[in-house]
Chain A
Amino acid sequence: MKNNYMKPLRKALLVAFYFISISTNFSQTLNWHNLENRKHVLHGEFGLDFSVSYGLGYSRQLKTKIPFVLNGFFYKPAGEIVFDDFKTKIGGQALWLNQQSWKGSVGIHGIYRKNTNDFVTLQNFGSETSATFGYYKNGWFLAGEVGFDKAIVTHFNHSNEYKEGVYENVKDGWYEPATGGNLQYGFQAGISFQPIDFTIKIGKVISQDFKTKPTLPFYLGLGLNCSL
């Protein structure tokens, strides 16, 4: 009987973790050196992030002792069908090391994403924790980055095509513990022509067992930031 109560409780905590990560906030490619007088930053991105994807985002710098940025992003993979697949991230980044040119930041984001194909619709709540450390100047920056993306709890809803053509007794519903996780590591860089930044990030992706690789084992992002 104990397990019958433990499972919903554990999931409540997992779901709570997602919302807490939104409400407390904590990576986007930012030139921290130029951020001092900027309150709003708009982001546009194109690249490879588990797919060919496009992204839009917004960051707002808060008036805090430690430089702190709240941000939200929307990513959509390429494809003929609009809005059947997407990823949203809400969270923030804090500058934990803030010397003249050497700077380090940490970020945490709550993720909600959806993937639909002929057989199943997947909806997932996850989290992304990340850290960057690099050299930042007024006109450019170069930093190393590492991030861990965890698919905490995922809902599976299978189509009739799967049920009739593949497996009639498939179990729909919420699946946990975590159904996936990937570690990303690489570099990010940018050049700044205020109020515009051109950014690039590139790196590798490996699954959470540190052995298997996803179908697209690397990421690449070309970005444009516009400060307001």
Chain B
Amino acid sequence: MSKFFILFLSISCVLACTDDREILEPGNLVPKTVMEDPTISSITINGAKLHAQAFGPENGTLIIVLHGGPGAYFQYLLNVSSLANKGYRVVFYDQIGSGLSQRFPYAYYSKFGKDAVDKVFYDELNGVIKYFKKRIDQKVVLLGDSWGGIMAAGFVGKYPNAVDGIIVGEPGGLTWADISEYITESQAFKFFGETLNDVTFADQFITAKNDEHEVLDYKFGLISAKNNIVGERVPDIGNLKVHYRNGRVGSVIQSAMFELGEKYNIDFSEGLDQFQNKTLYIYSSENTVHNDEWAKKISSSFKNKEIFKVQGVGHSGYFDQQKTWKIITEPKVLEFLKSI
């Protein structure tokens, strides 16, 4: 009994004498946002503080980069900043509730009901364009990947004269039915597989209330591993990481927008027939879900379009793989930009 007591006391002391931490402390498990770290570059749009960075001459054609998600962050798209060397003004921002931008509770988004995408994302994008546009005749182009491509399509459907062209990378779908089908097909976890069970098993270790963003974002980040079905790879942005060292996903904005999208059957192709300017539609050879047939189907909503298939990469690889961007995607994007 005394041996057990000594063993018990020893183990308790060893565990007790290590530094302990609190799970809700900002900066412990996920990086701080612009709200906690004033050294992070930011802009304030419609009352929300957003992490933003711009490259290139202020008067150059504006390229507004829209990241995926909802809830991801722009770090993986930084290869696109090389367009600044060609005279373009390239603007990156983490959308509201995403990346290192300010967090809001679920109710902030749900209060807009069926107008949530309009009020949350389109008003924000209009604000970002207004913030960075320095000349009235300055051209504006949206470059969106995945969810960013869906958002770009929805935006020009509502504001067909606001931009001079859009570049979209593999928007999974534009109608909610297509988005749902794409997500279902691209995330076909195996019931007995390691990935699915790693995710669900972790719920025993960490739980969080609806407004505990540090924990919710951390847990969501653990799920957001690379997806072999859509051919994703770890982003290769080389030394550009110096511009965005640490990333963080937004769990609340992601779950809020998916729930609202499903509830109101949001259609991002609405009004798209009114957008007469050019669209460059990019997709990859290694994404087995967004294949040739799917690209043809989804791109049919764009009137004035060019479809471009990038070989050798998967979802997002046309932007986030530095070599592919330099050799294949950037020349095509420059050709497109010169044509508008």
Contact = CB atoms under 8 A, between A and B. Distances in A.
A81 B247 CA distance: 28
Interface residues of A, number: 59
Interface string B91-117: 000000000000000000000000000
Contacts of B204: 50, 87, 113, 115, 124, 126, 149, 151, 180, 182
Contacts of B210: 209, 211-212
B246 A52 contact: no
A170 interface: yes
B15 A174 contact: yes
B43 interface: no
A167 B198 contact: no
A169 B8 contact: no
B197 A153 contact: no
Interface centre among B30, B202, B205, B245 (most CB of A within 10 A): B205
Nearest to A176: B20
A138 interface: no
A51 interface: yes
Interface of A is mostly: mixed
Contacts of B12: 12, 15-16, 19
Contacts, number: 164
Contact of B221 (A7, A113, A166): A166
Contacts of A19: 8, 11-12
B207 A208 contact: yes
B22 A177 contact: yes
Contact of A215 (B21, B192, B199): B199
A119 interface: yes
A83 interface: no
Contacts of B8: 16, 19, 23
B197 A212 contact: no
Contacts of A181: 207
Interface in B5-34: 8, 11-13, 15-23, 27-31
Contact of A171 (B29, B206, B208): B29
A26 to B, nearest CB: 18
Interface in B24-55: 27-31
Interface centre among A167, A168, A170 (most CB of B within 10 A): A167
A11 B20 contact: yes
A207 interface: yes
Given A209-B209, A215-B199, A175 B20 contact: yes
Nearest to A207: B207
Interface string A164-196: 011111110111110111100000000000000
A37 interface: no
A36 interface: no
A125 to B, nearest CB: 8
Contact of B209 (A118, A212, A215): A212
Interface of B: 4, 8, 11-13, 15-23, 27-31, 191-194, 196-210, 221-222, 225, 234, 245-248
16 contacts: A12-B12, A12-B15, A16-B8, A19-B12, A23-B4, A79-B194, A117-B202, A119-B222, A166-B246, A167-B29, A167-B31, A175-B22, A207-B207, A209-B210, A211-B209, A215-B200
Given A51-B200, A52-B191, A179-B205, 19 more contacts: A11-B20, A12-B12, A50-B200, A53-B197, A117-B198, A119-B221, A151-B207, A167-B30, A167-B247, A168-B245, A169-B246, A170-B29, A170-B30, A171-B29, A173-B20, A175-B20, A176-B22, A179-B206, A207-B207
Interface of A: 7-9, 11-12, 15-16, 19, 23, 50-53, 77-81, 85, 87, 113, 115-120, 122, 124, 126, 149, 151, 153-154, 156, 165-171, 173-177, 179-182, 207-209, 211-212, 214-216
